[in-house]
Amino acid sequence: MTNRIAFITGASRGIGRACAIALAGAGHRVILAARDLAKLEETAAAIRATGGQADPLQIDMGSPDSIKAAFAKAKEIGRVENLINNAAITRDGLALRMKPDDWNAVIQTNLTGAFLAIQLVLPVMMKERWGRILNISSVVGESGNAGQANYVASKAGLIGLTKAIAQEMGSRNVTVNAVAPGFVDTDMTAVLGAELREKLLATIPLKRLGAPEDIAAAVRFLCSEEAGYITGHVLDVNGGMYM
């Protein structure tokens, strides 16, 4: 068991919530960050009920000021040694008709927000000569997807960001990796119609959507001591839909 602090963005539901529960189960004190404080409190209560330590913090990954304020509060809790950049939004539409606001909002939250969070944790990680940074990308960041130019660009950008920072931080024993989920059963995919869902399942060799826990297990491993020699890697957790 370890007692490091993990900061998880988008921790109020879906993959972020599952990551928080998995890391708390591995002995980490988890800082739960998202916009919806009420939902964060629910997740924190569930973690505390099983003997874990959880601190909810409001954050808007689209706002540099909000990110700064949240990490300043996190500093009062302790040293953040694991950062899981999971928060993401979608504003889908064909590129031809995509509004600049929809492009900017997605890039700002999914990519720029993640970069700003990384900048804020690096000084402590460098000083401690230990750190784990995990960026949650997506299968579409590798394969592309029609109607999601902004989202795909943000998720592909996270992969490039992961590799650049892995190279910069390797000598300080800070590992930086990405996890690329396939289609996971969350609120984001719940809006898909039955027909689209069937079509999707046909493209997945394992014939099921992922569960948030499938992604959380990969994150827990990459945050562990055992993963200390893995950096700059993109771990696909997608049921085989993209190889």
Q: What is the mean pLDDT of residues 28-42?
A: 98
Q: In this predicted model, what pLDDT tens digit does every residue of 132-147 receive, in sequence order?
A: 999 999 999 999 999 9
Asked, for residue 242, whether it belongs to a domain, the answer is no
Fill in the DSSP letter of residue 210: B
SS3 assignment, position 7: strand
Looking at every residue in the chain, the average pLDDT score rounds to: 96
pLDDT cut 90: percent of the chain above it: 93
Span of 49-63, 98-112, 181-195, 226-240 with lowest mean pLDDT: 181-195
Residue 2: pLDDT band with limits 50, 70, 90: low
Do 8 and 16 meet the contact criterion of CB atoms below 8 Å apart? yes
What distance in Å separates the CA atoms of residue 240 and residue 89, rounded to the nearest whole number? 24
Rg (CA), the chain: 17
- 1 has a pLDDT exceeding 60: no
What is the pLDDT confidence band of residue 187, given thresholds at 50, 70 and 90?
Answer: confident
Question: pTM score > 0.85 for this model?
Answer: yes
The DSSP letter of residue 98 is -
96: CATH:
3.40.50.720
| pLDDT score at 186 | 84
**Which structural domain, as residue segments, surrounds residue 35?**
5-233
The first and second tokens of residue 16, run together, are 């972020």
Element (H, E) at 53: strand 53-58
Say if 239 falls within a structural domain: no
Look at residue 243 and tell me if it is in a domain. no
User: Does residue 30 lie within any of the structural domains?
Assistant: yes
Contacts of residue 19, defined as CB under 8 A and 6 or more positions apart, other chains included, come to 8, 11, 84, 86, 212, 215, 216, 219, 220
- For the annotated catalytic residues, the residue numbers are 151
**Mean pLDDT across 100-104:** 98
Q: How many domains does the chain have?
A: 1
pLDDT of 92 strictly over 60: yes
Inside any domain, residue 54? yes
**Cβ(17)–Cβ(45) below 8 Å:** no
